Amino acid sequence: MSVDVLLATIRSALPAVADPANAAPMQRYMKSALPFHGVSMPVLRRTVRPLIAAHPLPDRATWERAVRTLYAEVSHREERYAALELAGHRLYRAHRDVDALPLFAWLVSEGAWWDLVDWTASLVDEVLRTHPAAARPVVREWATADDLWLRRVAIIGQLRAKGDTDLDLLVHALDANLVGSPFGDEFFIRKAVGWALRQHARTDPDWVRTFVAARGDRLSTLSRREALKHLG
């Protein structure tokens, strides 16, 4: 199956299931330069996932080219969401290993907004859980990258790890992005720090309390509030 056929099929399907009345509000909410068709996320997933399954790609290189093309050659933002569905589809689970991390880093830097970045972070989370030894050094470097969004992914890249959280990696990502760091005053970094701590508090609340207390004023008010949100 050619990339062109798959992408043409996805691109023609999206406007057919859109509610145009939602397009402008969606664009305003996301502060997007790209317009929307007006496809809700549940509808997009129900539409795109069977199309991806029906048009399998033969190898990793073709899959990556399809993801990059759909993400970059875009007329409406939902096409980028469809590209992320393709990146995370069950057919290509074997491709989501450490060799996919450069692709995911490109998606993050190219997307450069929270909806796309956080979705890509969930793909990185998968790689960290399935290929931890190989993936950790890469994500560790992202924590100090000259890119706010890669730093955000390094911080929130273990949200689903629970008891398997790599605490050394988490502490490194957090400490590299506290108040006084190059991006430590940015909202999306402060929010990410609090989110990562709040999520880990579900697994180890005492660890989070200790971390928060030890960081003092290096932890922003927003990060602290989010971290302790469910701890009383």
| Residue range 88-103, pLDDT digits in tens | 999 999 999 999 999 9
pTM above 0.75, yes or no: yes
Q: How high does pLDDT run on average in the chain?
A: 97
Domains 1-95 and 96-232 share a fold: yes
What's residue 108's pLDDT? 98
Residues above pLDDT 70, as percent of the chain:
99
Average pLDDT over residues 47-52: 98
Domain positions in the chain: 1-95, 96-232
- Round to whole Å and give the CA distance between 189 and 198: 14
What's residue 1's pLDDT? 58
Per residue in 68-91, pLDDT tens?
Answer: 999 999 999 999 999 999 999 999
3: part of which helix (H) or strand (E)?
helix 3-16
- Architecture of the domain made up of 1-95: Alpha Horseshoe (1.25)
What's residue 2's pLDDT? 86
Q: How far is CA 178 from CA 44, 152, 184, in A?
A: 36, 12, 5
Average pLDDT over residues 13-18: 98
What's residue 81's pLDDT? 98
Per residue in 172-225, pLDDT tens?
Answer: 999 999 999 999 999 999 999 999 999 999 999 999 999 999 999 999 999 999
Among 2.60.40.10, 1.25.10.90, 2.40.50.140, 1.10.260.40, what is the CATH number of 96-232?
1.25.10.90
Q: How confident is the model at residue 37 (pLDDT cuts 50, 70, 90)?
A: very high
Cβ contacts of 162 within 8 Å, gap of 6 or more: 202, 203
Burial class for 146, CB neighbours closer than 10 Å (0-12, 13-18, 19+): exposed
What's residue 126's pLDDT? 97
- Round to whole Å and give the CA distance between 74 and 91: 23
